[in-house]
Chains A and B, each alone.
Chain A
Amino acid sequence: MHISANGSTVSSSLQDFDLSRNKSLRALQIMASSICHLSSNDSLDATSNFLNHTLSTVTSPEFYQVIVIYFWSDFFVTESWENPDRPPLREISRAERAQEVLRHRRMFEAFRRIHKARGFRFQLCANIWDPVGEYSVGILKDAIAEETANGGFDGFSSIPFVTYEPRNSHL
């Protein structure tokens, strides 16, 4: 990647992400998987630099939110996607659920870094196959509640909120 870990270098191809001409832009969407699975501070730096750069080019007066999209594969409960009718669902223990909440809380660090770029609200959108919907929305709400209780969203203009858009299949 041409973005250095400390963010000092900006790749020329980032010019491809210049949104200054898009005057109707209301929101940016990011896939949760691109944030959730960040394993190191370097990759977190690179991702937040990329998002900060893109956000800094936004000039649309309509712009007001960043939407983080979750798919069923972002949650432990499902294991396979090859069956087109019904992927196997499995039981989740209390410990696994707590671990899953914690895993989702870790990505809020990325939220804090990009929130500095400009004021906007975060929407966590579970775009998920219906049988997994209730579970995944519960995980996200718990993650937000725990993070809020720990002051993780202090300084935010509004606390991130969860929405649910059911899919008619998991494909």
Chain B
Amino acid sequence: MARTSPATKLPLEVVEKIIANLHYDIYSLLACTLTCYPWYIAAVPHLHHNLFIGDSWGPKCRWPNRLRPIHRLGLLPLVKTLWVRGTHGHAFSQTWFNSHILHQFSALSNVQRLMIDHLDIPSFMPRIQQYFGHFLPTVQELCLTNPNGSHRQIIYFIGLFQHLEDLNLIYIESGELTNDLALFPFFTPPLRGWLKLTCVRRVELLKDMIDLFGGLRFRWMDLFDVDGRPLLLGACANTLEILRLYPADPRCE
């Protein structure tokens, strides 16, 4: 008769705590999933914590192939960090979706950190909530790299996330698309965490954000190559606790 390992007799809460220490060790986590069902249950959330989708990470990570197997196994709700990488010639747009893909994408119901490169906001308008609505209750951190859209569209997108605390905008060059002044954000997110701006050249975007969100309340700021720095420092005069400086910032040249 096969002997049962004493490890399998440990309470699940204890197993979870032990396996959580392997959070960064993918190979050990994979080994745990093959041990027994309780260990599988404890290890699998750590294995699927991050989901990266983009051509630059190889064929396995391509959209929508990356979503399918994880959706089939019912694991998409375990994803906490989602990074979708569009590219300059292939922006993340509404054309990436059909009804099946949207169904799979909507299963990402617990994402807390959402990162999108080359998001083409105009292509999702006006039914943008149909595509991103499932993120609204959970996303606390948003990172947009090279988003395409007018000031109002970018602010509208940010304002979709009612619990958003942290905001990271990268490469927003000057040059304005037609601004839709009738577009107002759904929510005023708390935005009390950190603001990270890298190569942001649209002062008007920052002004609109301050106006439409009724001021800014960030406690932590990281600004590199940003136009409108005094505006942001002034807007957060009473809340800013930590500022990250870059001595090599081109703005101090």
Contact = CB atoms under 8 A, between A and B. Distances in A.
Interface residues of B, number: 33
| Chain B interface SS verdict (over half) | mixed
A168 B240 contact: no
B214 interface: no
Contacts of A21: 233-234, 237
B24 A30 contact: no
A30 B252 contact: no
Contacts of A47: 247-248
A13 B253 contact: yes
B229 interface: yes
A163 B229 CA distance: 29
Interface residues of A, number: 42
Contacts of A168: 23-24, 49-50, 81
B247 A30 contact: yes
Given A29-B245, A34-B247, A14 B238 contact: no
Interface of B: 23-26, 49-50, 52, 57, 61, 81, 83, 219, 222, 229-230, 233-234, 236-248, 251-253
The 8 tightest CB contacts between A and B, nearest first, are: A130-B24, A29-B244, A47-B247, A21-B237, A16-B229, A26-B241, A84-B52, A22-B240
14 contacts: A14-B252, A16-B230, A18-B230, A18-B233, A19-B233, A26-B242, A27-B241, A27-B243, A29-B245, A47-B247, A84-B50, A86-B26, A129-B24, A168-B50
